[in-house]
Amino acid sequence: MKRLWWSKYLLISIIVLATACSGQSGSADKGASGGANDSAAGQSQTKTDAVSADNTAKDPFGKYSPPIEVTTVRQIDASYKFAEGESLDKNIWTPIFENELGIKVKNLWVVDSSQYRQKLNVAIASGDLPDIMEVNKVEMQRLIDADMIQDLTQAYNDYAYDFAKKTMNEDGGAALASATIDGKLMGIPKTNSNGGVSSAEMIWVRTDWLNKLNLPEPKTMDDVIKIAEAFARQDPDGNGKDDTFGLAINKDIYDGSYGSLLGFFNGYHAYPNIWVKGEDGKLVYGSTLPEMKVALQKLQDMFKAGLLDREFAVKAWKKVEEDTYANKIGLAYGRVAVATGNLKDIRKNDKNAQWQAYPIVSADSKPARPQAPDPADSYYVVRKGFKYPEAAFKLLNVYLKKFLDTPYEKGSDNPFAIDTNTGIFPAKYAPVALEAVTHNLNAHYQVVDALNKGTDPSTLGFPASLHLERNLKYRAGDDSMWFSDRTFGPEGSYSVIAQYYKDKNYIFSEFMGAPTPTMVEKQATLDKMQLEVITKIIMNAAPVSEYDKFIEEWKKLGGDKITEEVNAWYAKNKKG
Structural domain includes residue 522: no
Question: Tell me, what's the pLDDT at 457?
Answer: 85
Does 566 reside within a domain?
no
- The answer for residues whose C-beta is within 8 angstroms of residue 493's C-beta and 6 or more apart is 202, 336, 337, 338, 339, 357, 486, 487
CB proximity list for 337: less than 8 A, separation 6 or greater:
7, 8, 11, 194, 487, 493
In contact, 428 and 403? CB cutoff 8 Å? no
Q: Is there a single domain that holds both residue 133 and residue 36?
A: yes
Q: Give the model's pLDDT for residue 410.
A: 60
- Identify whether 61 is part of a domain: yes
Q: How far apart are the first and last CA of the chain?
A: 39
Same domain, 208 and 339: yes
Residues 185 and 55 in one domain: yes
Q: 395: closest CA among 350, 430, 359?
A: 430
Residue 182: domain span:
27-193+376-429
| Whether the Cβ atoms of residue 77 and residue 112 lie closer than 8 Å to each other | yes
Q: Could you tell me where the beta strands, DSSP code E, fall in 229-359?
A: 275-277, 283-285, 331-334, 355-358
Interatomic CA distance for residues 42 and 492, integer angstroms: 45
Which of 458, 482, 503 finishes a domain?
A: 503
Domain holding 137: CATH number?
3.40.190.10
* Residue 336 and residue 456 in one domain: no
Helix (H) or strand (E) run with residue 51 in it: strand 50-52
Q: What is the pLDDT of residue 425?
A: 93
The verdict on residue 232 lying in a domain is yes
Distances from the Cα of 312 to the Cα of 204, 265, 293, 307, angstroms: 18, 17, 20, 11
Distance, in Å, from the CA atom of 317 to the CA atom of 506, rounded to the nearest integer, reads 25
Query: 422 and 405, same structural domain?
Result: yes
Do residues 216 and 403 touch, judged by C-beta distance below 8 A? no
Per-residue confidence (pLDDT) for residue 436, from 0 to 100: 85
Are 33 and 160 found together in one domain?
yes
4 part of a folded domain? no
537: in domain:
no
Q: Is 22 exposed, middle or buried (0-12, 13-18, 19+ CB in 10 A)?
A: middle
In a domain, 215, yes or no: yes
Measured distance CA(100)–CA(399) in Å, rounded? 12
Determine contact, residues 222/301, Cβ cutoff 8 Å. Answer: no
The closest alpha carbon to 391, from 44, 29, 71, belongs to 71
482 Cβ neighbours under 8 A, 6+ residues apart = 339, 347, 474
Domain identity same for 145 and 34: yes
Going by the DSSP 8-state scheme, the letter that residue 405 receives in this structure is I
Same domain, 393 and 356: no
pLDDT of residue 412: 58
Interatomic CA distance for residues 463 and 15, integer angstroms: 5
pLDDT of residue 466: 83
Identify whether 67 is part of a domain. Answer: yes
- Please indicate, yes or no, whether residues 180 and 59 belong to a single structural domain of this protein: yes
The predicted structure's pLDDT at residue 491:
96
pLDDT at 11: 40
The DSSP bridge pattern shows strands 63-65 and 50-52 to be parallel
Assessment of whether the complete model's pTM goes beyond 0.95: no
Which of 324, 346, 369 terminates a domain? The answer is 369
249 in the same domain as 100:
no
Residue 429 gets which letter from DSSP?
A: G
Which pLDDT value is given to residue 330?
Answer: 98
Sign (positive or negative) of CA dihedral 147, 68, 153, 133: negative
Calculate the alpha carbon distances from 107 to 104, 114, 186, 387, 543 in Å: 10, 18, 22, 18, 57
Strands 103-112 and 68-76: parallel
H/E element, 184: strand 184-185
Total residues found in the chain within this entry: 576
Mean pLDDT by 10 residues, the chain (576 residues): 37 36 33 33 38 68 97 96 96 98 98 96 96 96 95 97 93 89 94 87 98 97 98 96 96 95 98 96 97 98 98 96 97 96 93 96 97 90 97 97 78 78 93 90 94 88 84 96 96 96 92 91 96 98 98 98 96 77
Q: What is the pLDDT of residue 377?
A: 83
User: What are 181's strand-pairing partners?
Assistant: 184
Inter-residue contact 291 to 299 (CB < 8 Å): no
**Given 369, 385, 403, which residue is the final one in a domain?**
369
Environment class of 247 (CB within 10 Å of its CB; exposed 0-12, middle 13-18, buried 19+): buried
User: 149 by DSSP, 3-state: which?
Assistant: strand
- How many domains, the chain? 3
Query: Could you give the residue ranges of the DSSP H alpha helices within 401-513?
Result: 439-453, 464-475, 482-488, 493-503
Do residues 291 and 323 share a domain? yes
Q: Domain check: are 186 and 68 in the same one?
A: yes
Partners of residue 308 on adjacent β-strands: 247
